[in-house]
A and B are shown apart, each in its own frame.
Chain A
Amino acid sequence: MIQSTGIRAALLSMVLLVISLGLWELSSFKPEATEAVSEYELLMGGADQEARVPPPSDVLRLAWTELSNPFYDAGPNDKGIGIQLGYSIYRVLAGFSLAALIAIPVGFLIGMSPLMYKALNPFIQVLRPISPLAWMPLALFIIKDSETSSIFVIFICSIWPMLINTAFGVASVRKDWVNVARTHELNAFQTAFQVILPAAAPTILTGMRISIGIAWLVIVAAEMLVGGTGIGYYVWNEWNNLDLTSVIFSILMIGVVGMLLDMALATATRAVQYQE
């Protein structure tokens, strides 16, 4: 065995993929028409056929056509997959960035000051377990705009992991490193940026990675709820059209984009990681 584990794992993945796609394809074959199709069934375009999950070959065919022209726009109910994903990614990044803008400084404050920690902890403990979608009606009522409301929902769900990880990372910076800053007469600003931030960065970025994962989960549900645009709306719309091939295709795309977002944050985390 000369091959590395990486190559062997890749081979195994391919085999598993081929087997599962093959099984799926086989199970989706149309059964032989054993008796005459009733008039009603004919009218419905063959009920048997509709009730089946489309085979992977159909999904691949659709993926090819969709991905070869992802940005077409033919009216509110017919936009390319790229446009729909773009809306969702924009909302996730907007809500996530706003959350980071608040969570990181506030997390710093909580991590540095036991008083602030004690004072803010009850609020965090009550607000954190609330399902982000539960905020949606209130957000729609106050903001009166579905676009901004979904961004707000993303904001509220991605703030907690970042806040908690930042506070934890800042609070557990080794006292020795803070003493190094003190003996070098660094002011509060320099201490924050030259010592505490780099020391806590891996923990903070881990929080950001958890946040973006949650945000991507939540945006699909939020868009199903408010409609209009976005990948969540797209899935729901295709379901209403009974176009299961498109539903499966968009599910796969949600997975791929989620993975890419996670990989981006994982790369950033690795960049600030240090070994003690």
Chain B
Amino acid sequence: MHQHFLEVKGLGKRFPGKDGDLVVFENASFSLERGEFVCIIGHSGCGKSTILNVLAGLDRPSEGEVYMAGREVRGPSLERGVVFQNYSLLPWRSSLSNVTFGVRARRPGWSKAQVREHSLRYLHMVGLKDGAEHRKPAQLSGGMRQRVSIARAFATEPELLLLDEPFGALDALTRGTIQDELLKVCAETHQTVFMITHDVDEAILLADRVLLMTNGPHARVAESVRVSIERPRDRTTIVHDPAYYPIRNHLVDFLVTRSRELADRARLPEASGGDPMEPLEVDPGADARAGEPSLPPQHGRLMAVNGN
């Protein structure tokens, strides 16, 4: 049987409360292939950050396991880089020094010059130059700080990159340019990415697949939606792709109505604690092209989408 790069099996998180446990989410099972860009969308509080922290090894699940490249994830590792929503830069260090901090941890054997050269390359890759490398985070705009944070994560060259709503706090214009940088860097490095977002258009622009979560408590990863739009993608032309609106409508419809309906059904007494289930695979883009019902996506097509 084919082994996935990242496998999440029956993940659940509960917090003990006065009248019974609060089950934030349960039976979350999904997988990522190497080089894949996967976004996860769900309403606030359904447990997306918790899932990401479990994947990072920063948090322990109440049940279930995570395997990366066949090995169980038990704690944080340099193989999994994290970009937090609030950037998490060390404010007493300059931008460059924040990146070298990561690179030095990753490559203890490298010389100072090597670390510096490598770090500068990634800072330039995300568009930080002209003295911004030497400024402290407090002297940078929100967009520039997030670029530093992304540069740090990419520069440590992790096998899996985890992004928790990285652009949530940015204005639309800045968000757009950094999304473009991210697309470019991912195309260059074939980075595997798991990203939380609120923004349906952002997910379609960036992702190969979008995971949809129902509302909490008792949230689940209900669907895995393939974004069958050729790469390289461009924000201005992507809306003209025939698959764009079918995918977008599917995602919006899920967020507006089905996320709640499915959650209500899951909370019925007879449904609680159901079997671990894989999310339903859907491909609204292909359905629209062929006018035929949804097919489970084949591995070959996935590779074509990734371009590798």
A residues at B contact (CB < 8 Å): 176-177, 179-180, 182-186, 194-195, 198-199, 201, 272, 274-276
Query: How many residues on B have C-beta within 8 angstroms of the other chain's C-beta atoms?
Result: 23
Which one of A176, A182, A186, A199 lies within 8 Å of B92 (CB-CB)? A199
Whole-angstrom distance between the Cβ of A195 and the nearest chain B Cβ: 7
Given contacts A183-B77, A194-B101, 18 further A-B contacts (CB under 8 A): A176-B84, A176-B86, A176-B88, A179-B58, A179-B76, A180-B88, A183-B76, A183-B78, A183-B81, A183-B82, A184-B78, A186-B105, A272-B92, A274-B92, A275-B91, A275-B136, A275-B138, A276-B138
CA distance A200 to B78 in the complex (A): 25
Contacts of A276 in B (CB 8 A): 91, 138
Q: Are B91 and A274 in contact (CB under 8 A)?
A: yes
When A176-B86, A177-B90, A275-B91 are in contact, do A183 and B136 touch as well, CB less than 8 Å? no
B residues at A contact (CB < 8 Å): 56-58, 75-78, 80-82, 84, 86, 88, 90-92, 101-102, 105-106, 136, 138, 156
CA distance A183 to B161 in the complex (A): 11
Whole-angstrom distance between the Cβ of B139 and the nearest chain A Cβ: 8
Q: Are B76 and A198 in contact (CB under 8 A)?
A: no
Query: How many pairs of residues, A versus B, come closer than 8 Å at their CB atoms?
Result: 53
Q: Are A185 and B92 in contact (CB under 8 A)?
A: no
Interface of B is mostly: loop
Contacts of B91 in A (CB 8 A): 274-276
CA distance A198 to B56 in the complex (A): 25
Whole-angstrom distance between the Cβ of A275 and the nearest chain B Cβ: 4
Q: Could you show 26 A-B contacts with beta carbons less than 8 Å apart? A: A176-B86, A177-B88, A179-B76, A180-B88, A180-B90, A183-B57, A183-B58, A183-B78, A184-B101, A184-B102, A184-B105, A184-B156, A185-B76, A185-B78, A185-B105, A195-B90, A198-B90, A198-B92, A199-B92, A272-B92, A274-B92, A274-B136, A274-B138, A275-B91, A275-B138, A276-B138
CA distance A133 to B81 in the complex (A): 55
Contacts of A184 in B (CB 8 A): 78, 101-102, 105-106, 156
Whole-angstrom distance between the Cβ of B256 and the nearest chain A Cβ: 33
A-B complex: 6 closest residue pairs judged by Cβ atoms: A275-B138, A274-B92, A184-B105, A176-B88, A182-B76, A183-B76
Which one of A179, A194, A201, A274 lies within 8 Å of B82 (CB-CB)? A179
Whole-angstrom distance between the Cβ of A203 and the nearest chain B Cβ: 13
Interface of A is mostly: helix
Whole-angstrom distance between the Cβ of B149 and the nearest chain A Cβ: 10
CA distance A180 to B106 in the complex (A): 13
CA distance A199 to B93 in the complex (A): 11
Contacts of B136 in A (CB 8 A): 274-275
CA distance A201 to B92 in the complex (A): 10
Contacts of A186 in B (CB 8 A): 105
Nearest residue (CB) in B for A186 is B105
Whole-angstrom distance between the Cβ of B301 and the nearest chain A Cβ: 33
Contacts of A194 in B (CB 8 A): 101
CA distance A274 to B92 in the complex (A): 5
Contacts of B92 in A (CB 8 A): 198-199, 201, 272, 274
